[in-house]
Amino acid sequence: MLQALRGMKDLIDDGEKFNYFVKTAENVAKKYGFSFVETPILEETSLYIRSVGESSDIVGKEMYRFEDKGGNDVSMRPEGTAGVVRAFVEKKLDRKGGLNRFYYCGPMFRYERPQKGRLRQFHQFGIESFGEESVYEDAAVITLAKNIFDDLGIGCELQLNSLGCKECMPTYRETLVSFLRSHQDKICDDCKKRTETNPIRTLDCKNSECQNIYVDAPKITDNLCQNCDTDFEKLKKLLEASNIEFSINKNLVRGLDYYNKTAFEFVSKEIGAQSAIAGGGRYDKLVEYLDGKETPAVGFAIGIERIFPLFEKKDESLNKFYIGAMDEKYTDTSFILAVDLRRENEVTFEPKTKSLKSHLKGADKVGAKYCCVIGENEGQNNEIWVKDLEAKEEKVIKQEDLKGLIG
């Protein structure tokens, strides 16, 4: 039997839940002034090398990368930010200036070892905000994410860090590298490699022996320049004032290379080892790295499959009708009534003629509130039998009054 590839899943049971999430998230994003953007799944590989970074696991080990029939080196997007920045620059929005706020939703691809909460094809809902350098935008982006989780009834913890800027990061990097070099004999092979390629990433190594050593490692938040420090303090104040709880995680470095200043993740204790349900931060240099005019930017992405276990789809407030006939003569009439009702309501139309008892069973099965059936008597008088299955009341009404039954 043919099966989906390892680490890839059909959205077949959760399709409606997926849509419910997207609608909820979109609703919040729109209130913050974000508009929808869609970029291609396939991009030139160099886009990801120049943004996410060659030394990151995502680019170094996990990309679905191949040569297309035209001999081009292409990759399936492992994340959404790079593509949106490419589109932003290509459309010359960096030259126009002003604020540009986008949200997107779609599949991402990472050739990782699949496990609970970790897929090779997964979906992200992401937002990217361009043009605002003040920390108010960082705070707005974080409250936006929190509002989405609140609307879904998801409890989670916000972890925050600052990664500094081009003023303070290089000096800190050197301090960290000398610390790491002085512990080379005790740290894992990955960290040894990273000491030279991407020292900051050592800080979130999963090896507990490394972590014991890094307790004493210099921390970026203790080495921020005046400007970064002021912004970080201001961000904390804004979040506190907005009643957003957070903790500072000095080892939060993110797996993508483009971040500076604010970095954050939302984590849930209820879903096992892959606990990050959203991640993001500021990336003020990325537009410039991708040949655009320097533009401050900040954003995040939520892992949709990761949050599936954490929320239920709320029943939409549409009234549910079930409608059918007991005699073939009246099936067309019930079909036409269904078409009309569907302008405002959710309707299950039953094309087979059945006994009243079977129709009631059918209505029950689809969870309808109203079971509407045209029998012989009703049909002759242009009437219809209606039972309110919640109130357990039944009556016969004129067919033309069916639409006015509620409200």
* Minimum separation from the CB atom of position 28 to ligand HAM (A): 16
300 belongs to the binding site for ligand HAM (CB under 6 A): yes
324 belongs to the binding site for ligand HAM (CB under 6 A): no
Supply 349's token pair.
């139309």
Q: How far apart are CA 353 and CA 328, in angstroms?
A: 6
- The HSE-up count of residue 233 (CA atoms within 13 Å, CB side) is 8
119 belongs to the binding site for ligand HAM (CB under 6 A): yes
Residues numbered 87 to 116 that lie near ligand HAM (CB under 6 A) are 110, 112
Task: Report the candidate in 143, 134, 297, 298 with the shortest Cα–Cα distance to residue 227.
Answer: 134
| Candidate list 53, 199, 292, 303; residue touching ligand HAM; CB under 6 A | 303
| Candidate list 81, 100, 262, 345; residue touching ligand HAM; CB under 6 A | 81
H or E, element range at 140: helix 135-152
Stretch that binds ligand HAM, among 122-130, 228-236, 371-379, 396-404 (CB under 6 A): 122-130
CB neighbour list of residue 398: distance below 8 Å, 6 or more residues apart: 382, 383, 384
The size of the interface with ligand HAM (CB under 6 A), counted in residues, is 25
296 belongs to the binding site for ligand HAM (CB under 6 A): no
Between CA 126 and CA 5, with CA 7 as vertex, the angle to 5 degrees is 120
Residues numbered 330 to 389 that lie near ligand HAM (CB under 6 A) are none
* Minimum separation from the CB atom of position 276 to ligand HAM (A): 4
Residue nearest to ligand HAM (CB): 303
Q: How far apart are CA 84 and CA 92, in angstroms?
A: 12
| Candidate list 131, 164, 299, 324; residue touching ligand HAM; CB under 6 A | 299
Residues numbered 234 to 293 that lie near ligand HAM (CB under 6 A) are 255-256, 276-281
* Minimum separation from the CB atom of position 316 to ligand HAM (A): 26
- Cβ–Cβ contacts within 10 Å for residue 200, how many? 20
Supply 147's token pair.
């509002």
* Minimum separation from the CB atom of position 103 to ligand HAM (A): 10
Strands (E), 213-283: 247-248, 260-267, 276-282
- CB closer to ligand HAM, 79 vs 383: 79
Between CA 58 and CA 68, with CA 63 as vertex, the angle to 5 degrees is 150
| Candidate list 301, 325, 341, 386; residue touching ligand HAM; CB under 6 A | 301
Q: Specify which residues 247 forms β-bridges with.
A: 159
140 belongs to the binding site for ligand HAM (CB under 6 A): no
Q: How many residues does the chain have?
A: 407
* Minimum separation from the CB atom of position 193 to ligand HAM (A): 20
| Candidate list 48, 122, 321, 385; residue touching ligand HAM; CB under 6 A | 122
Q: How far apart are CA 334 and CA 399, in angstroms?
A: 9
- Give alpha helix (H) positions in 187-330: 189-197, 208-214, 226-241, 286-289, 304-307
CB neighbour list of residue 64: distance below 8 Å, 6 or more residues apart: 75, 76, 78, 109, 111
- CB closer to ligand HAM, 124 vs 260: 124
306 belongs to the binding site for ligand HAM (CB under 6 A): yes
161 belongs to the binding site for ligand HAM (CB under 6 A): no
By CB under 6 A, name the binding residues for ligand HAM: 79-81, 110, 112, 118-119, 122, 124, 126, 128, 255-256, 276-281, 299-301, 303, 305-306
